[in-house]
Structure 1
Amino acid sequence: MIESEKHVAVPDQPRRISGKHFSHRQWSCPVVEDIYFIDCVFSDVDIEGLIGRGISFERCRFSNVRIKGADLHLCTLRHCEMTNVDIRQSTIFNVSLLETPCQGSQLEQCQIERWMMAGCHLEHARWNDTSISYWTAQNTPVQDFIMSGGTFQDGNWHDCTLQQVFWQGTTISRQVMGSCTLKQCEYQNTACDIFIWSACQLQEIDFRKVNLSCSGFQKSVLRECQFAGCKMDATQFNGAQIQQCDFSQTDLSCSQFTDATISNCSFLSANLVRATLKRAKLTSCNLINADFSHADMRFADLKTSLLQPAITHKTRLHGATLQPLDWALQTPEPLMGQLDSWYSLHRPGPKVNTESPSLSSGASRYV
């Protein structure tokens, strides 16, 4: 490090600081306001009691930085690099990270509100007993992430990839994900409230015994996910593709599977009372002791899933495609039959007359 840079301190007056290297420093109770750091390096720095307002960093590098008891408002990092940044017992409000990879970050007993990450990469993170609210992440891969305890509310994710992300004893409220990919993630002993996955891909996700009431998986792809013992009443799977998932002993009452494709899944002793499975396709599914009482399964495709071992009290099966052993379960619905007949005669569009065969191809008979 250049000798002149060793004694460069954080200035008291607002200004730009460019190309400086802060190394092996210990700052106690600094006050930093309206400062723009450009192309600076912070390495092996200990900061305690920092009060910051309107701080911006551009193309800066942070390595082995330890912050304790900070109070930060309106902080922005653009095109920076963060490695092994440890923040403890701090309050942060309105922080934005733009195209800033973060590796090895640690949060301990922090309170963060309005945190945005766009075009970043979060890896090897450990967050403990931290409260995060109004989180926004876009196009940000997350890998090897563990959050233990604390709260995470009003989180919005878009076009993100989450792999090996583990929530342990965290209270999660109002989480919305769109066009995201999740692989090998777990929700252990978490208290969840309103989860939405829209057009997402979920693979090998462990939701066992998690409360997912009123959640949504619309138009998502689910593979090898564990839902055994979950509370999933009024959950939406409309248009979803569900493959090799376990719903054993899961409460799916009043859930919606309209136009869903379900293959090689287990619904052993699952509760699907008053569920909606209109036009759903169930392929090679285990329906033993599943309760479909008062469920709406009109026009469902069950050619390869035997419904007989399930409970079908007042289940609507009009127009459903069943195995021969299940034909006796398909009770007639006169009103629906009349509606189908009326619609076949009055439906819009060209009508094809199938009573007489069409003329064969060849020369005209008038020649």
Structure 2
Amino acid sequence: MNPLAGWIVFFEIDNLSTISFCHKLKNMTTGIKHNLIKEQPKIVDNKTFRDETLKDTPLTNEVYANCKFYSCILSAPLLEKVRFVNCVLHDCEIERSTLWHVVFANCQLERTSFICSTLSSCKFIKCSLTDCDFGKGTIHELRIIQTRLTRCDIIDIIGEAHNISLIQCYLEEVHFRNSSLQGFKVVATTFKNSQFFRCAWQSSDIGSTIFDSCDINELQLDKVHVGETMFLRSTFTHCSFGERIRLLQVTFSDSFIVECSFLNTRIFDKIIVSPFTDVTAVTEGSGGIISTPPTQTNSNTAVKSTKVENESKAHFYCSVGLFTKKPATQLAIN
């Protein structure tokens, strides 16, 4: 018996249905092919753009490789899965836009503005950013890896900036102002001559990092782990260290700690105070300045032992209360 007899009978009986099914199958296959073609990124390679403007058309799934952008306005309403590889962006605007899964890799950005933009799940990898502005925007899931930032502003961030990671970066003269950083992760990074003003770090992790000649003013830290980190030639003013903060192997050297509050007495156990660090305590209970070492302790003026490098004459007194700048001669313990 012919094994195809059943199929032949089926075709003869329901020829119209079979043709209709084949037609639908063809349309389905065509649709799949069309979607696959549509999902392939558009690649623009080795092109220079000058004074170009893009405002109303979204950019989706595009790759710009070895391209140069000069004085361009790329303020599209949406930049989705756009990748810039080995690109140069000078004097460009990417403002009031939503950047979603946008990647800058090996790029040089100079005087480029991201003002009032939303950055979500974006990455800067091995880039150089100079005089760039991220002010008044929204940030979620931003990873900055092996990147140098110079004279950049991260100010007036709307709401809480969630999950910003700085990994093996170098930041010089970068200003963080009026911003709450939730899930701030910093690893093997250096801050040089940078400023933190009226910022909050919450549920954050700072490790193997150097703050050199930084101005840290009205910074609030809570649920923060700081480990193997050095503060060199830096000034803390009116800062608040919450109860849920951990400082492990943290070094203060040549620094000023001015009128800062430490709510957790245990954080002093692993602090290293290097020479010329200028600190004195105002205890929470007395409200007075301790200019000489206390001879007796009570619940209001608890003295904690600290590690001191090179027999320095700079010391922390008490552990709950405020710190204020005093002459170094009043800090010595003989």
TM-score w.r.t. the length of structure 1 is 0.66
Deviations 1:237-285 (A, max 9, x none): 3212210222232212325244442122233225599xxxxxxxxxxxx
* Contact 2:303-2:318 within 8 A present in 1 as well: no
Deviations 1:161-204 (A, max 9, x none): 00000122223222111110101111123344244321111112
* Contact 1:45-1:65 within 8 A present in 2 as well: yes
* Contact 1:97-1:116 within 8 A present in 2 as well: yes
Give the structure 2 partner of residue 116 of structure 1. 123
Call closer, same or farther: CA 1:195–1:37 in 2, change over 3 Å.
Answer: same
Alignment: residue pair count:
277
Is 1:199 the counterpart of 2:208 in the alignment?
yes
Is 1:104 the counterpart of 2:116 in the alignment?
no
Which whole-Å CA distance do the structure 2 matches of 1:109 and 1:45 have between them? 20
Aligned-residue sequence identity (percent) comes to 9
Structure (1/2) with the larger helix percentage: 2
* Contact 1:84-1:105 within 8 A present in 2 as well: yes
Deviations 1:130-159 (A, max 9, x none): 111101011100001012312432101111
Give the structure 1 partner of residue 12 of structure 2. none
* Contact 2:234-2:254 within 8 A present in 1 as well: yes
Is 1:227 the counterpart of 2:258 in the alignment?
no
Deviations 1:321-351 (A, max 9, x none): xxxx979xxxxxxxxxxxxxxxxxxxxxxxx
Say which SS state the counterpart of residue 217 (structure 1) adopts: strand
Gaps of at least 5 residues in structure 2 are 1-33, 321-331
Give the structure 2 partner of residue 218 of structure 1. 227
Picking from 261, 266, 273, the partner of 2:272 is 261
Picking from 135, 140, 147, the partner of 1:128 is 135
Call closer, same or farther: CA 1:271–1:177 in 2, change over 3 Å.
Answer: farther
Call closer, same or farther: CA 1:306–1:85 in 2, change over 3 Å.
Answer: closer
Which whole-Å CA distance do the structure 1 matches of 2:66 and 2:256 have between them? 47
Picking from 8, 14, 38, the partner of 2:45 is 38
RMSD value, Cα: 3.5
Say which SS state the counterpart of residue 45 (structure 1) adopts: coil
Give the structure 2 partner of residue 182 of structure 1. 191
Aligned residue type for 2:257: F
Call closer, same or farther: CA 1:305–1:253 in 2, change over 3 Å.
Answer: farther
Gaps of at least 5 residues in structure 1 are 1-12, 17-30, 274-285, 314-324, 328-367
Deviations 1:110-146 (A, max 9, x none): 1110111111101111222111110101110000101
Give the structure 1 partner of residue 82 of structure 2. 75
* Contact 2:273-2:307 within 8 A present in 1 as well: no
Picking from 250, 256, 267, the partner of 1:240 is 250
TM-score w.r.t. the length of structure 2 is 0.72
Which whole-Å CA distance do the structure 2 matches of 1:312 and 1:96 have between them? 45
- Structure number with the bigger relative contact order (C-alpha 8 A, sep ≥ 6) is 2
